[in-house]
Structure 1
Amino acid sequence: MEGLEDELKCPVCLELFTCPLQLPCHHNLCRRCAEDLLQSETNPSQDDEEGATYSAAAAPSPENTPDSFPCPTCPEVVSLGTLGLDGLRKNFLLQNIVDRYLRLKGDGNTRPHEIPCQLCREAPPRLAAKSCLICKVSYCEQCLTVTHPDFPPFSEHKLVSPTASFNDETVMCPDHPSKPVEMYCVQDQTPVCLLCEKVGRHKQHNMAALEEVFSQKQAELQTWVGRLDARVTLEEAKVRALEDRHEQMMNGAQELKTEIDKQCESLMEVIQHRKAELHRKLEQTRQQDSKDLQKVIKRATDGVQKAQSALSYSLEVLKETDHASLLLAHHSLKAKIEGTINTLGSNSDDNYDDDEYGIDELDIDFTQCKKELKALDFGVLPDTPFADEQCCIGSMEEAYIEWDPVWDANEYEVCYSVGNVQIVSTLKGYSYTATNLTPGTKYKFELASKNKAGRSCPSSIELATTPFEFQLDQNIASRYLLVSEENTQVSKLETPIPLPRASLTLSRFDPEEGDQHTVLGDKSIRRGRHYWEVSVKGQYSIGVAYESMPRNEDICNTMESWAFDYLANGSLYSVWFNGSTYTQRKRIKPPLSKIGILVNYDKSELRFFDANTQTLIFRYKEKAGFTKPLYPAFSLWEGSLKIHSGIECPQ
């Protein structure tokens, strides 16, 4: 019922519909609201009085009643016929939905036996006295008198005690109110009564049974409802995505604001630190210059004091009137004055004001710093790089990705996961090779560009490694085995193949006795699920083994191998481990012609299938887990084996 109430409100009174009328434009309107619109068309300058009661005196006279009014929802003009508003069909379906909604809502203000009048414009409306089963409307005494005068056709309407639901009542024909609808006019697409088929505007139209049309229209509506529901689900998902994006944006903005504050505070700390350092250097220079100048000033002051003393004495000598005394002192006084003058000259420099001190060498100019600070702004993230799908490819254990360069990027980031481990690689170039991947596995790679401003939005590409593919390693095969067909087939020989002494290494299988001989595949399994098939003839053991298994044993008789064994003389099959049978022997007839082997390294599990029918034969789980790389392993003492690898794993 979510959002339903908005659909059940009249566009004029904005309340739940009461006695809704369906307009030709398919919009709906309360009957009393439609009457108000008609009255406003008759008296456009007269405002409705709040709480006015509908009465015969207030209703417009027939000759003054307009024949149209504008739809309050769309630009369409509703044209009325001779029946006026009675010619508009009451929307019983909408009224039923409103009634159900009110019951489900459980409105406690109205008790079940108190049915409000559906035409009263009072707030709240008066209680209904009667309900008309023809009009499907509940009326109070006053509204009933106005709407149902005591003459046909209104006198023929069936009035009952007030009821809130007319669901069980028969829908009556809009053209013949006393007749129930029993047919459907195909041309006008509306339910009609039997009389409409003979007389009136539906005469000679194509008619159909209500039940048939009901099923068709219900199915059609169900289809459209399904489409709407799917579209609503899609739009709801879009809204949720937008809300998530909005939340991300808000969180990103808050994080960016925090980062701005952090960066600016860091800048201010640097400025404050440099300010303190400059003050320290300035004070140090000032103190040194002051000390030097104080020494100069003291020497100059001492010289001036001595000169002042000599000057005062000389002035007193000049006051002497005795000729002989002055002449006797002349020579010594002159020498004293000359000595004082010379002393002043040696203690001071005539260009003392041009001397340079440390303070004179200091200068400060933050113009460039101011420009850089004023230029502080958000950095521009680089564009998103996209992989060139035509150049990207996956092999058995590697994936190669190539992309076009982004002009404003300094480096690129490739991110992917191997199992539960996320791998992030940063590089300067325009290609990347992911290694040590699991064969036959799909990987999602995310590619982003980076610069000083940050990391771009990533793009993604999915690449799949090819399934596990191998050949037989003829360099370690027993000399009694012939490896052929591009190292995919092995056959048992009666006599050994003569080989150069240099090729007879310790890694080659060469049993001391017996006639069963072994060969391994040339590729190992370290993780993941892998599958291959073997076409079989003769007597054999097939399975997996560690590379370190003994070279003088078959794969049924070691602690480092797991074997599916076949004895041709009894059509018996079994699984071997630790040199003994792990499962009870199973007799299968006719003998298998092709066997599938599925290895799940991560779960330490082996499965053997009838490859022709994909029927599981044996299943084995290694409790201790696989601890080393596994190699496909084959022991043969009669017949031949054909390898089929590079096959997708069965589900």
Structure 2
Amino acid sequence: MQCFSNMKSMEQELLCPVCKDIVKQPIVLPCLHSVCLMCASEVLVQSGYPQPELPPEPNSPASTPNTRSPRQMRRPMPKSDRVDRLLRSGSGTYPGRRRKEGPPPLMLFPCAPCGRDVELGERGLAECMRNLTLERIVERYRHTVSLGSVAVMCQFCKPPQALEATKGCADCRASFCNECFKLYHPWGTPRAQHEHVQPTLNFRPKVLTCPEHDQERLQFYCKSCQMLLCSLCKLRRIHAGHKIAPVTQAYQTLKDKITKELNYILSNQDMVLTQITQLENAITQTEVRVSAKEQLSHCVKEIMALLTERQTMLAQALESSRQRRAEALTNQVAEKRSLLEHAGLMAFTQELLKENDPSSFVHAARITHNRLAQSIESMQRFSLSADPSFRHFQLDVSRELKLLTDLNFIQAPLAPVIDTQRTLAYDQLFLCWRSPQDSTPAWHYSVEFRRWGWQRLEEVTGTCAVIDRLEMDSVYVLRVRGCNKAGFGEYSEEVYLHTPPAPVLNFYLDSRWGLHADRLVVSKEQRCARSVPGLSLLQAADRALTSCHLTADLLVGDVAITQGRHYWACSVEPGSYLVKVGVGLESKLQEWFHLPQDMASPRYDPDSGHDSGAEDSSDSPPPFSFLTMGMGKIFLPSSANSHHTNANYRESGFTNGNGPSSPTGVTYPLPPRLGVCLDFEKGRVTFYDAHSLRPLWEGPVDCSAPVCPAFCFIGGGALQLQELVANRNANQTPVRRVTIQSRVTKLN
């Protein structure tokens, strides 16, 4: 009974997605879904492709009209409406091709479970192999659920005298009784050599064979292409270099995985039941939950009540204005009526003129004179005392109508947009974003980042976040999403940030080495410097008529490195003439400052790190290591040490600004920020594009004594040190700290 229940419950897994009936002669599509062979053929014909060549249908009792049972009747072809629904995705038609034309187009099959068109290839259904395992499962299902223990009858006996089959022929693909088997397989004929099998209702090949190479067994499995191969397919060039294993090994591996997954699910049935209960409760809540509907009705009632109250108030204001206007017009009518000949003011004036006493007349007639003058002026400049049209009492409800039209439930915020110009990785990760213009406001944001597994910063109120405690020389993935009363919105696009290869060194520009105030200016925070050629340089150039001499202004950091690996970054203004960024021995930098070199002298090359004096050994590392930038370019010297880094930078998509590389080096566009990494123990310095952390150039430097960050200005230019992310939100300037070793300046 338990076996019957299990078989009955899996009927949904045996249905064809086209005809919605139990599959018959199923084939496996490239998307790994199974469909009936006849259904697939009908769908392709409906799509406009020619009728595919199908293998002959097995002549089995299940397909023979005189032997099949009512429950085994051949199901009808898929209905046209179901086929039309499958074809709505729009597959291209194939009207046939003429001779001497190109290869036929690829056949597209609209797979219903995938919801998309699946490419079948040029050979169409001929490239899809039969699903023999599914056929065996269907046969066991039919035997358990539908047929029970019904005997297999002989296909060649007449119906009244039909006998039970005792033998089956794999070559004839039919079942026979003893007499019919002897009749159709006479002794001494080729049919007598046919393979005998047990009587069955469904004849199928014993093993899968290659659809391209007839009768070749599929003995290998390509892990790269995830397909079965025969011994001839294995030799093809398309599978060269692929991981190919025997099919028995793939069988055992896949069977072990499925067994492990099945055991895991069966051992966690309580979890499945709990999740089913939660889903059923959720469905029940969606059916009986009326709080949202009640809230909607309450909000609409509040709006209607407010509109009614506002309507009453506006109606009262309109009625008050009407009464005031009517009163003003009534008074004006009474005043005009008094000007009639025998009424009001006119009658009083006529009686006043009958007075003969001059003093009494003058005393009483002045006010009458004023009233008459006002009446005459009113007659000459007649106008209504109040506007009866009420044209100023018109409501402009366009904005309110638009608001009511846009009235909707609260929507979750749209995906934020990452500001890639402000987002960076330095001592900490600084992530900045903004909300789209048409997005609903977000109450707060959730920032997620990962190196191996996702971590989260909850309830970030602003539009930027700082992430600390990072691992060096690692790539982090970050994304953001907003949240409001409607819940969380969509994630932003993921952004990748590469952390520096070493701890970040925080230092300031040292202004204690006697800067030339007329040419070099350091900001108050001592993180920016600008070189401006002054009047002295102009006068020197005017006196030197035979050559042009440029001054080199040296600027160093206020730290001296004596151990470890350290990284810092800076940005050079693209309009700078020449700016050199690098490191050097503190003692040599002091000598260079007190004995400035002539930039036009052939004995000096700052990029080589030392001059051409005979006292320096050719095998010793140079005391300086600089990269030169200027006029929107960066110059990368050519050397054995920097060959691979130049190649990496070239692969990043930048092109050489001067065409083919010269023996001395190549130029590239100036990166937005330049990173410098010093390894004191190894005596190596590496320059990076600080935006992408791509290495630009690497070279040796003498680290036998304290080494300082150094900068050199030749002509006009500007430079700014990268500010620490930790100091961006500080209200005041942080206390300056020398993180490695305080450098003692010797000016004497």
Which of these two proteins has the greater Rg computed from alpha carbons?
1
- Of structures 1 and 2, the one scoring higher in RCO (CA 8 A, sep 6+) is 2
